[in-house]
Amino acid sequence: MIKPRTPPGVLELLPRDQIAFQRMLDTIRRTFERYGFLPVETPVMELTEVLLTKSGGETERQVYFLQSTGTLDKGKDGLPELAMRFDLTVPLARYVAEHEHDLVFPFRRYQMQRVYRGERAQRGRFREFYQCDIDVIGKDALSTRHDAEIPAVIASVFEALAIGEFTIQFNHRKLLRGFFEGQGIADGERQAAVLREIDKLDKRGEAAVRETLVGGEFGLSPETADTLLAFSRVRATGHDAAQAALDALGEGTPLFEEGRAELREVLRQLRALGVADARFALNLSIARGLDYYTGIVYETTLNANPEIGSICSGGRYENLASHYTKSKLPGVGISIGLTRLFWQLREAGLVATADSSVDVLVSLMDEAGLEHALALSQKLRAVGLNVETQLEPRKFAKQMQYADRAGIRFVVIRGEDEATRGAVAVKDLRRGEQFEVAEADLGRTLLVEREQMRALPQREGRP
């Protein structure tokens, strides 16, 4: 007999944990749609030549390839025809390029699907995980005004998720690159290498990064390295403080000034959008190591749990689909790695097992009551309640135990006495109370009770 077990790197949840996870997905989806983003889904598999637009490197070593049993015998050389997506950005690029003439620009899309990477098996690292992305894609050009709307969406998402206080930190690649130019670091590849090193400050620490910058690979003077590190220490929370911090940077190259002007505009729009000052901060150490980003970059962290790291990141890019079309398609977007975030929040005690999505269990005391129980269940469903019917009579205590373990709040009981009075008894397992109500009023009463409980402040740790 084969031992049942999940493969490593997969998060498989029990039903009530799955409910908690699903509610987070639903909250994110509702918020994305509230800001006018449209849903997109792409296949889990893509053509290998489309997915791997660059050969070799770390990406290819983490890709899962797909091969049918029928092709195994053919012994073809080279890579399999199909591969599983490792993020949602490359599929989006293919999607926009392929459907370019059918889409309306700026194209505002959200996508919430699983992706697959051959991560080394270790605690908290997943080979299958959900990403929740939004992007705004322009045709030929895209106003930087969209750059301010993205953090407003982030703020709305995490306020709705209610997982703790958070800060959206942002920087600008033009500001960084312009500052580097002012320090004599003008070569594009060298700038990118320094950016990647600066982006490691949180992981490696300032001393280690400084040592690398003045070492053989970079060869910066100690004075230049110190200037770069001093620049990266700039932090400012809220509109006024961030504007003042930008003022204090002094004059710079044209690229530096362009980045600063765009950041100023983003700050003004965040104020107009009503994003609270405590929600965002200028952080000049954020570089987002990928060369892919060309403008504003974002990282979001939980204030009380910085060890979790970035819970949402992204930024502005110049041309989404350069490998697939001659059209210029600039954009801006962010991604939430929800599987890892959910796992981290659960480990930190910030989310708990959810109550069942079932509102009511209609109990069954004896065989004679089955048809009535079925009819009553249908009436409750018709008014908007989620109902499970006990289909075989069991001891009352067993039915209560079942409902309690399953996380069902209400149990409806109709014994001989209640039937005589045209009433039912309701056991509220959340409050530990029991009350009687006329059967004709049952649906309305349970709806009121449910909504009242939802309106109350939730217990700490409840999603």
Question: What's the CATH code of the domain at 394?
Answer: 3.40.50.800
Is there a domain that residue 140 lies in? yes
pTM value is: 0.90
- Residue 288 CA to residue 333 CA, distance in Å, equals 13
**What range defines the domain where residue 20 resides?**
16-164+304-354
Q: Are residues 179 and 220 in the same domain?
A: yes
Q: Are residues 217 and 313 in the same domain?
A: no
pLDDT single digits (tens) 123-132: 888 999 999 9
Q: Are residues 147 and 65 in the same domain?
A: yes
For the chain, percent of residues with pLDDT exceeding 70: 95
Q: Terminal CA-to-CA distance of the chain, rounded, Å? A: 39
Is there a domain that residue 99 lies in? yes
Q: For the domain that residue 275 is a member of, what is the CATH number? A: 3.30.930.10
Judged against a pLDDT cut of 50, whether residue 462 lies above it is answered with no
Is there a domain that residue 9 lies in? no
Q: Are residues 348 and 365 in the same domain?
A: no
Taking residues 317-341, report their average pLDDT: 94
pLDDT of residue 67: 84
Residue 460 binned pLDDT confidence (cut-offs 50, 70, 90): very low
pLDDT single digits (tens) 48-76: 999 887 544 566 678 999 988 777 666 66
Q: Are residues 442 and 377 in the same domain?
A: yes
Comparing C-alpha atoms, which of 298, 330, 295, 329 is closest to residue 314?
A: 298
Is there a domain that residue 347 lies in? yes
Unique residue bearing structure tokens 């206080």: 165
Per this entry, what is the length of the chain?
463
Is there a domain that residue 296 lies in? no
Taking residues 283-309, report their average pLDDT: 88
pLDDT of residue 219: 85
Q: Are residues 342 and 282 in the same domain?
A: no
Is there a domain that residue 462 lies in? no
CB of 259 within 8 A of CB of 287?
Answer: no
Sorted by sequence, the CB contacts under 8 Å of residue 81 that are 6+ apart come out as 47, 48, 71
pLDDT of residue 55: 47
- Residue 314 CA to residue 262 CA, distance in Å, equals 17
Q: Are residues 151 and 177 in the same domain?
A: no
